[in-house]
Structure 1
Amino acid sequence: MKTHIIPAIRLTVACLVLLAVAYPLALWAVAQLAPNKGEGFLIEANGNKYYSNIGQAMNDTNYFMSRPSAVDYDASGSGASNKGPSNEEYLQELESRIQAFMAINPGVERNQIPADMITASGSGLDPHISVAGAKVQIPRIAKERNLALDTLEELVNKHIESPLWGMFGPKKVHVLKLNLALDALSSMKGGQHAN
């Protein structure tokens, strides 16, 4: 028995030192080389601070809406629902999101709704939406804020981000940055905006 216990204790201590001390210290050291020293990127606007790499709940009809979040935008517990496309509860949830989207975006047909506007991302914290997801909301926002459609189209086009290194992933729009620019535009044009 002694021949098994001593190696097990040694292995436990070695794993504890490696995984609870050395590994976290190595990650912290690498993070110090990154921009912002691993603290994330903050955006300050209107007296508020936001992490730009974490999705924000944007449900006000005056703003471009974010992607749905399976974790209610709680960064301490990212994750997806893990429900498959044949799960009845998941299908009902999607149908509810479709109906809600169509209700606040009159004139948008069911088949015009981009998938990212009704499905949550794998992390539930995605700060981006597709270009189509932004553009389908333009008529609603134009009406809410009393802005011209082409002005909003131009605003969205200015906020399109290219794929990583020009080849990985689709073009996308950062919702928070777009909405902050929308507030600035509304202030300049004298349109309405929510605080």
Structure 2
Amino acid sequence: MIEFFFSQYKDYQTYDIVLEIIAVILGIASVWYAKKDNILVFPTGMISTFIYVYLLWKWTLWGDMMINGYYFTMSVYGWYCWTRKKDGIVEFPISVISNAEKRMSLLIFIFTTAFVVAVYLYFDKFNTWYAYVDTFVTGIFFIGMWLMAKRKIENWVFWIIGDLVSIPLYFGKGLFFTSFQYVVFTIVAVYGYLEWKKTLNSSQQALKEY
């Protein structure tokens, strides 16, 4: 069993394997902090995604590289949003997505999917099954990251969908550690949604009583 999983790394440099493990650990920590609505979600996520951008560039996995590059950028934006306060009150508390944000989410999905398709066509990368799945997952994750930066509870729904698809996707690419990471991500995302829902309900109840 061990040989089956780790045989995928036989042609990888030890340095890259260590980097992937570090990125996985920090990625899991980032999702855990997101579950706790803790600002540390962003610095841990930025380091993890920075490492992945390097590794995925090296392995010519362009779609995944763009996802992580976007994560890094949105982490900077999310860090800014989460720390903004107005009259001592957090400007972006946990909330429900608005109709305008639903439309924006759809536009993000369409644009990112089209962009990834264009990149894969340009580099002639539509030669494996996971190249097609990448186009879908990229759009899903782009929405999830944008909604998390805005502190919208629905971000967890998109993370769960994307994580479930990514488990076999990354295993098929030969990245066992990353595939396992998405198993953990899925579990934490479910609990994250429940925890944010509880916080949202409490704040709404407090507003009613006020």
| TM-score bucket of the superposed structures, by smaller chain | 0.3 to 0.5
User: Which of the two has greater helix per residue?
Assistant: 2
User: Which of the two has greater strand per residue?
Assistant: 1
TM-score by structure 1 length? 0.34
Larger radius of gyration: 1
Structure scoring higher RCO (CA < 8 A, sep ≥ 6) equals: 2
TM-score by structure 2 length? 0.33
